Structure formats: C-alpha cells, structure tokens
Structure 1
Amino acid sequence: MTVIRRFLTATALALAASLTAPAAHAATPAAPPALSAQDRSDIARVEEHLNAVKTLQSKFVQVAPDGRQATGTFYLSRPGRMRLEYDAPVRDFIVADGLFLFYWDADMRQQSSTPIGSTLADFILRKDIRLSGDVTVKEVDRADGVLEITLFETKDAGKGSLTLVFQDKPLQLRKWRVLDAQGLTTEVGLINPRAGVPLDRDLFYFREPGRDRDQLNNPR
C-alpha cells in the first residue's frame, strides 16, 4: 500500500472519503454535545477565519500512525480546488478540480476518483464553511495560545474524528489530526502557510504524469 493510499485512508474525514475500505461501523446519527458560550464563540471565529481563506499554499509534514514522515506542498483554492503533492522520492498526489477528487498511485500508474460532494474534502472546499449540519463539533480545547476543535461526521460518528489545530491570536490553521475508525492517528502539520497567494489554475486539473511526453514519443 503506497504512502498516498495510507494517507487517504487515515485522513478520510479531513480530505477524502476512504477509497480502500468501508466504514467500520453502521451509520448512527450522533447527538450534539453540550457547548459553552465560549465554545460557540470560538467556533464562530474559526468559521469566519476559514471562510476568509480563499487560497493557501504551505509545505506540510505528515506523520503516519507508525511514526513515519512524509513531506510535500499543500495548495488550496476555494471553492472546490486543492492539491497535495509529496516531495521526492514519493510521486503520488491528490488533486480536486472543483467536481472530482483524484489521487494518483505512481507505483501502480493508476488514478482513482470520486465526486467531491461524496467526500469530506467537500467540508474544507465549500464556498460557505460551517462547523454544523453534516459535521458536529465534539470538543473545543484551549491551551497556551492554541485552539483545537474536534469534529466528527454527524451521520456516522463511528468513522473517526478530525481535530483542527489553530494558533490563536492571530488565528491560523497550523495542523490537523485524524483519528480513524481503527483508532489510528495521522497528523499533518503546516509549515509557513501563506494565505491569499495567487495560484495557477493548472495545479487543480488532473493530468497523468508523463502522458503528454509519451504521446509525443508515440504519435498515432
């Protein structure tokens, strides 16, 4: 199983639906937890912050459940578009083009895709981000200038949870952690994230690596 496939499975609630295995539990709607006035205020601040971020570029460090690390670059262009590209020697990548989310398995030279709306990648790619409705806030934690908000899928809490970790004052997304249905945690930390940067729209189209070159070398 490649790094990208492990990443997609572990971070299904954050960026994509699991493309390799069904959820471990049957769908069970969860009752919303009791939130304090401070919790609701912080949730509103996070919603406002996330909605203000239209484009974002950042290096990232991914720590897998077994402690292994991978690095790469994360690009976001809301609504609907994102790209995660791993540094060499990993050649896999994920791209969302506004309608579909694709991932490229370089070892197999295969791409898989699914409609964005059927994944929770849709959560961070929407035009209007809300931490309610099809996602439920489980917990809000504050400590030493850090704000953490833990979410789960409202209709199926058994799939796991996503924790968004923000630097507070000023508010800035710094990392996310995903606890999957098997109890395994994957963490992705952002390094020097830059919001509001111009991004080439070509980043957000799926193109099979080497395809154009191969076609030129083997014209029909």
Structure 2
Amino acid sequence: MTLTPQDQADIARVETYLNGLKSLKAHFLQVAPDGGLSEGTAWMERPGRLRFQYDPPSPFLLLASSGVLTFRDASLQQTSNIPLSRTPLGILLAEHVSLSGAVTVTGIQRQPGQLQLTVTRTASPGDGSLTLIFSDPPLALRQWTVLDAQRRETRVTLYNVQTGGTYDQRLFDQIVIPAGTPQNPH
C-alpha cells in the first residue's frame, strides 16, 4: 500500500493519540465471530495491561499482563495463554505504539466523523490484523476489530470511555474481581 501525505499525517496523529493514551476504562459491547453478543467493563493500562470483565451470563475473562494474553472460560474451566506479541491486541498495548517498521498499516478509511486504520505485524501478517476505529474530530478510540489467524472477526465497541485513570494493579490478575462488578455464579 502506498501512503499518501494525508495517510502519513493521519497515521502520525493516531500514533500521537495512542502514545498519549496511558489508561482507559469503558463499557464494551463485543460481537463474536459467531455473532454472539457480550457486554462488560474493560480496563486498559499501557504498556501491556488489559482486563475485559464480561457481564453474566458470559463465563469469559480476558486479561493481558506480563506479556501474556489470558482467556478464561469459567463454564469449561479452561484457560488459554498466548504471548501478547503474537496477538493483534499487543500492537495497541505496546509501550510505544509505532505504526511502521514492526507494524504495517494495510488500510486507511475516512468517513465523516471517523478514521479507521488496519494494521498487522510486518513479520507475521498471518497472525491477524487489528482495525482501530476512531471518532474524529477530536480523535478518540471508539472501536476495534480483531481478525485472528483463523480469519475469525471479533468486534469491540467502547461506550462511556474514561481516560487517564489509575487502577489497582491487582485488577490485571485473574484472581481479583473488581469491587462492584457482578460476579458470574459459575
């Protein structure tokens, strides 16, 4: 893909925005590859920390910490661990987000009020892609779509986004359930 000067300017704006985004808390709506809907609360703290606390009846918990993405399915009593560096979300959670070199921008779309960038890992595009969707102006992360290595798409939309908070680091440990969060009875 050949980048126009406008593309390069938008990529630079997105890098500046993401590198300035140190923490985030939001309500999310997730559409799974099979069309199933889940909701919950997401916390992100860069670099490398993420928690998706799914509301009941969903049995899922998604965590990123210490370079590992952990997916827990309480209904099956199964936990999967993947190196964060092998996932598209690792791009978003990097200490310094750079959308060149180790990351390749494979698509840019502009619509009124919206900017969309699709990125892959340059060395391993087969691991999947991450499409970041921003409201613009002002630039603000509102949604992302992960296309995994099996070409399955998961879309996450963020609502009631609060940026700049500080969170208890135990939040990113799968044992802790945040105070005031509904607990899954499973």
Normalised by the size of structure 1, how large is the TM-score?
A: 0.73
Q: Distance in 2 between matches of 1:82 and 1:128?
A: 16
State the match for 1:38 in structure 2: 6
RMSD of aligned Cα (Å) = 2.0
Greater fraction helix: 1
State the match for 1:136 in structure 2: 104
Q: Can you give the 5+ residue segments of structure 2 that lack an aligned partner in the other structure?
A: 178-186
State the match for 1:28 in structure 2: none
Structure 1 position 49 matched with structure 2 position 17: yes
Q: Can you give the 5+ residue segments of structure 1 that lack an aligned partner in the other structure?
A: 1-32, 210-220
State the match for 1:94 in structure 2: 62
**What is the deviation of 1:180?**
4.1
Classify the secondary structure of the residue corresponding to 1:45: helix
Classify the secondary structure of the residue corresponding to 1:96: strand
Counterpart selection for 2:134 from 142, 163, 166: 166
Tell me which amino acid in the other structure corresponds to 1:176: W
Counterpart selection for 1:104 from 57, 67, 72: 72
Classify the secondary structure of the residue corresponding to 1:155: coil
Report the identity percentage: 43
State the match for 2:118 in structure 1: 150
Runs of 4+ in 1 over 6 A off after TM superposition: none
Cα displacement string for residues 72-114 of structure 1 (whole angstroms, at most 9, x for unaligned residues): 1111011121111111011220112233322212022232323
Number of aligned residue pairs? 177
Normalised by the size of structure 2, how large is the TM-score?
A: 0.85
**8 Å CA contact 2:86, 2:127 repeated in 1:** no
Q: 1:51 to 1:180 in 2, by over 3 A?
A: same
**What is the deviation of 1:67?**
2.6
Classify the secondary structure of the residue corresponding to 1:132: coil
